[in-house]
Structure 1
Amino acid sequence: MRQTFVDTTTALLDADPRTALVLADISASAFAPAAVRHPDRVLNVGIREQLMLGVAGGLALTGLRPFVHSYAPFVVDRAYEQIKLDLGHQGVGAVLVSVGASYDGSQMGRTHMSPGDVALFDTLGGWTVHVPGHPDEVPALLRAAATHDDPVYVRLTTAQNAHPHAGDGGLRVLRQGRSDAPLVIAVGPLLDATLGAVEGLDVTVAYTHTPRPFDVAGLRALAAGDVVLVEPYLAGTSSAVVAAALTDRPHRLLSLGVGHADLHRYGTPADHDRWHGLDAAGLRRSISGFLR
């Protein structure tokens, strides 16, 4: 996904004089050729993530469309105040593109983990959040984000599903259960694990790569009672959205995702999937127990 981002953004820089890119050393070498061609629109501020967001806000005020890129804990957690003030308070937008997702960088420790990034954007409101599950879903999302001025967050990861599922981000049914079957919603790269987890169960599985804005109309059309959310960030991040959408209907909700506790562990991303119950076996235990 990261290389797809580099390729797509480089093409945008070449084709659209409104596109700008602000970096804080991360991926600077990958964008070096673009920086030579567009030195006024490809800016590397060094390891100063807060400044990176401030510069992006300034560029947006001049009419440019800034793309901002770093590891998720650096571009979101560390620079949250600047996102709130230099973008939100000034009424301008940017396209924030992170790598690292929840724990792609787990072997580097807690400093490189950011399971709470999407929840932070929920405190600001108005952000579109894309969580692609395959590299082939990324280019269209980036190109669309370049055409307007609203705030967009694109969350990239090394994890990916076997196949892309393009679309506008609405809930897309990939497996149909009976008419009153429980609804399981898989977000981004957790789709394949979810499909493996529900094998043999009578459930409907729907996929989205755009959890914000959440497809409320699609949810209401598909939900018949029990709803299971499977998200690759903090468990419960979309619970309030789903509960509000179904407030007039009897339903039960199970929210699965990264646990809130700091595990104080390194390990691989696969280890963390297992520890948080987000591998197929863990999801199967949780979903089966809920539907029993």
Structure 2
Amino acid sequence: MDTMRERFISTTSRLLDDDPRLAVVLADISADGFAPAREAHPDRVINVGIREQLLIGVGGGLALTGLRPVVHTFASFLVERPFEQIKLDFGHQDTGAVLVSAGGSYDWPAGGFTHMAPGDVALLDTLDGWTIHVPGHPDEAEALLRKAVTGDDRVYVRLSLQQNETPLPVTGEGFLTLREGRSGVVVAVGPMLEAVAEAVRDLDVTLLYATTVRPFDSATLRRAVGGTGAAADVVIVEPYLAGTSTAAANDALRDLPHRVLGLGVGRKELRRYGQMDEHLTAHRLDAASLREDIGGFLGAR
């Protein structure tokens, strides 16, 4: 199986052949993968080097000319470092782009905290008008990317080495209902699905799968809650900062009695490199820890 990042490179390279409006802007990351595309389309594959503010500025400028920029680097360098440029060059100028990250929250722990971005979705969520996709499989990443490049809006596609074994049919609109239960609603985001599914295997819960987290699918959540009884318990498991979507869930259920638990990456910095699986366990995002936390929350009412 290829990775999401590899699928992004191959898919976007083919899209460059088919769509003369498309342009790719890089900051060294994945430049080797795009070398054949750059040779074929030297005017539409641009590598600005390790200059992330310029990366966003060039993307904004290309958008002003009518092109559809696909802007790519690690999440920490794509969202956190040039955040002011994202806010102004896309938001304030009201231009569109597709930002595609790599690295997830801690895909490469040996890179240290400079290469980790657990707060990227929460940070983008402070801005208006962004669609945020968090695929859980390369097939899903390709489907969401192909949808994103056809528009003129602002889209963030968050890629990770962490991925589910089996893809699901995603459209970029709303959550998928995988099963229904009576004891609560659990929302698994992107690559968290397999661990969450294992964790709730013996629990009588509704399981929703989210690969598009903004706009937040309030309608599906409300329908799911409506089938669980008078009082609703909701757990959201996200592969980035814990609690990122709890406010959205609370807003969706504001007129209903409910409790919401947000599970995800903790705020405490883990200063030992380790491996990705060790970081997942440390943040209690492995199946055993999720079973304990979800079961404890649902059983506490």
Say yes or no: TM over 0.5: yes
Match of 1:185 in 2: 187
Contact 2:91–2:128 (CA<8 Å) still a contact in 1? no
Query: Deviation of residue 5 (structure 1)?
Result: 0.2
| TM-score of the aligned structures, taking structure 1 as reference length | 0.98
1:204 maps to 2:211: no
- Gapped regions of structure 2 (runs ≥ 5): none
Distance across 2 between alignment mates of 1:162 and 1:140: 16
C-alpha distance in 1, partners of 2:28/2:284? 34
**Other structure's SS at 2:213 match:** coil
The match for 1:266 is: 273
Per-residue Cα deviation, 1:74-117 (whole angstroms, up to 9, x for no partner): 11111111101111111101100000010001121111100000
Q: Which residue of 1 aligns with 2:176?
A: 172
CA distance in 1, matches of 2:118, 2:47: 26
Local SS of the residue matching 1:211: strand
Separation in 2, partners of 1:175, 1:41: 44
Which of 50, 66, 69 is the matching residue for 1:66? 69
The Cα offsets for residues 196-252 of structure 1, whole Å up to 9 and x where unpaired, read as 111211111110100011111101100131100000010000011000010000011
User: 2:245 aligned to 238, 242, 260, which one?
Assistant: 238
- Residue 44 of structure 2 corresponds to which residue in structure 1? 41
CA distance in 1, matches of 2:143, 2:276: 27
CA distance in 1 between partners of 2:74 and 2:20 (Å): 26
The structure 1 residue matched to 2:161, chosen from 158, 161, 176, is: 158
Corresponding residue pairs, total: 290
Three-state SS of the structure 1 residue aligned to 2:23 is strand
CA contact (8 A) 2:144 2:170 kept: no
In structure 1, how many angstroms separate the alpha carbons of the residues matched to 2:128 and 2:195? 30
Question: d(CA) in 1 for partners of 2:50 and 2:7?
Answer: 23
Using the alignment, how far apart are the partners of 1:125 and 1:266 within structure 2? 35
Cα distance per residue 1:136-185 (max 9 Å; x no partner): 111121111111110000000001111111222422111222xx330000
Runs of at least 4 residues off by over 3 Å: none
Of 168-177 and 252-261, deviating more is: 168-177
AA partner of residue 287 (structure 2): A
**Cα displacement (A) at 1:291:** 1.3
Query: What amino acid is aligned across from residue 180 of structure 2 in structure 1?
Result: Q
- % of aligned pairs identical? 62
- Match in the other structure for 1:284: 291
CA RMSD of aligned residues (A): 0.9
Of residues 88, 93, 98, the one that matches 1:90 is 93
Q: Distance in 1 between matches of 2:105 and 2:166?
A: 21
Give the equivalent residue in structure 2 for 1:116: 119
Aligned equivalent of 2:233, options 221, 226, 230: 226
Distance 1:233 1:127 in 2: 17
**Counterpart AA for 1:99:** A
* Distance of 1:268 and 1:247 partners within structure 2: 39
Tell me, in whole angstroms, the C-alpha distance in 1 between the residues paired with 2:287 and 2:122: 24
Give the superposition deviation at 1:192: 0.2
2:214 alignment partner, SS class: coil
1:143 aligns with one of 141, 146, 161: 146
3-state SS of 1:266 partner: coil
TM-score normalised by structure 2 residue count: 0.95
Q: State the match for 1:20 in structure 2.
A: 23
SS in 2 for 1:218: helix
Q: After the TM superposition, which of the residue ranges 103-112 and 61-70 deviates more from structure 2?
A: 103-112
Q: What letter matches 1:174 in structure 2?
A: L
Write the distance in 1 (CA, Å) between the matches of 2:184 and 2:92.
Answer: 41
